[in-house]
Structure 1
Amino acid sequence: MNEIINKKVEFRDLGKMDYQEAWDFQESIFAEIVSKKIKNRNLTLDLQEKTENYVFFVEHPHVYTLGKSGKEENLLLDEQGLQNHEARYYKINRGGDITYHGPGQLVGYPILDLDNFFTDIHKYLRFLEEAIIRTLLDYQIESGRIEGLTGVWIDHIEQKNPRKICAMGVKSSRWVTMHGFAFNINTDLNFFNHIIPCGIDDKAVTSLSKELEREINLNEVKEKVKNHLVDLFEMELVN
């Protein structure tokens, strides 16, 4: 583990950004941090540089993404169908199956060097989920996890009508993370009708606005999620 610990994290709101552009942006920062870690291994402690940490918030235009373990048949649209819905489709290098990103959805991309926090990818995923669970509790909505499934779910205990409100999918190399979570806030849920979300065909998808039956202030949600991430990971905010 790095002996130089840096818990400072820069949160940056990228606004609305094309998926490919955001992916390329993530990849470049991810590569820089991994490269610095490799370089540090050959340096004495006094010459090593601290590795940076970031959390990016973004909204994407309509897009479907398929993770490494996903099946293409879980996308129910052909090329023409994608064009008709003004949606794009990418196969990507995160874990998980297929999911949808679009306007009104809060997508979070933490690029963290877990050597600065803890080297446990399962704990990392649980902390991302917990930040969303705590945010939902701020809106008086009970949510949680369902064993064997990723993400955050409403009606996760009795499971009479379990519905996913936040999807997760991450990549990690040398304990540096990328990709992250997709939290449905004011999302048009009709776009989920064109996929089998995360390969699960017997459970529904929901959004914060659907559960509360009103439009939600996205910036307000971003602030809540940020604060919970800071508390859980014991981050130091970079202004």
Structure 2
Amino acid sequence: MNKKVLLQDLGNKDYKETWEYQELLFKQILDLKIKNRREGLELETPNHFLFVEHPHVYTLGKSGDMNNLLVDEAKLKEKEATFYKINRGGDITYHGPGQIVGYPILDLDNFFTDIHKYLRFLEEMVILTLADYGMKAERSKGETGVWLDVGTPFARKICAMGVRASRWVTMHGFALNVNTDLGYFDLMIPCGIKDKAVTSLNVELGQPKVDMEEVKQKLLRHFEELFEASILKEKTSV
């Protein structure tokens, strides 16, 4: 089993371009797995982890409700935002500047073949990272992602998640609000969940800005520990 994970930080990149790049890496792993099975080979399958920050964009999962986007195309244009229907699970979410988006494209045959466990590990990675900042984050029953003050009238989401998997290969991932403009969440019903607030790390810490690179390093450290993986930095190729 290959537990090496190739890391690329794509910087600020268009959502559609990044989605196409994810699909390319995803297909390469799937094709190799199919070749191994058909030809009785044992070629090592790679794993990838992409960090990216997107311009303002709203994405709707395959089972999502279009009504959860509360504005029309003209308003999106006014806000310099785009919209895509995509092939992950989950409902509607927002990506934008000041948010750390992570796309692990893993062959879970290299780790464990359990999607439920995979999602819980991604949540735990974020929970542990927020604990490094003195915050008590947790899961909310039946609602994927990471929350604060669960079970109270002040429950608020700080990290959204949605993944796709085929033949135990994953894509899409998580979006952690760090220095995010929370006003953009007012244009939708986040993840289709009404009457729940959204927050960001800088708001919770009472700081104008949190060091994004520091947060990324903490996320990677906890990812390595949870998945027993080894992160290898790769030169950006897109």
If the TM-score is normalised by the length of the shorter chain, which range does it land in?
over 0.9
Cα separation, 2, equivalents of 1:194 and 1:235: 38
Name 2:201's counterpart in structure 1. Answer: 208
Cα separation, 2, equivalents of 1:139 and 1:125: 22
Contiguous gaps of at least 5 residues in structure 2: 234-238
Identity across matched positions, percent: 62
Query: Alpha-carbon deviation of 1:238?
Result: 2.2
Choose from 108, 114, 135 the match for 1:114: 108
CA RMSD, Structure 1 to Structure 2 (Å): 0.8
SS in 2 for 1:135: helix
Name 1:129's counterpart in structure 2. Answer: 123
The TM-score, its normalising length taken from structure 2, stands at 0.96
Cα separation, 2, equivalents of 1:69 and 1:145: 21
**After superposition, what is the alpha-carbon deviation per residue over 1:117-163, rounded to whole angstroms, capped at 9, x for unaligned?**
0000000000000000000000000010010111000002x423000
Choose from 146, 154, 162 the match for 2:155: 162
Query: Alpha-carbon deviation of 1:43?
Result: 2.5
Contiguous gaps of at least 5 residues in structure 1: none
- Whether 2:24 is the aligned partner of 1:28: answer yes
Name 1:10's counterpart in structure 2. Answer: 6
SS in 1 for 2:6: strand
Choose from 167, 182, 186 the match for 2:179: 186
- Whether 2:49 is the aligned partner of 1:37: answer no
Which contiguous aligned blocks of 4+ residues in structure 1 show a shift greater than 6 angstroms?
Answer: none
Query: Alpha-carbon deviation of 1:92?
Result: 0.1
Amino acid paired to 2:226: L
Query: Alpha-carbon deviation of 1:237?
Result: 2.4
Query: Alpha-carbon deviation of 1:25?
Result: 0.4
Choose from 42, 61, 64 the match for 1:48: 42
- Whether 2:58 is the aligned partner of 1:84: answer no
- Whether 2:109 is the aligned partner of 1:152: answer no
Name 1:177's counterpart in structure 2. Answer: 170
- Whether 2:83 is the aligned partner of 1:61: answer no
Cα separation, 2, equivalents of 1:110 and 1:76: 30
Query: Alpha-carbon deviation of 1:42?
Result: 1.8
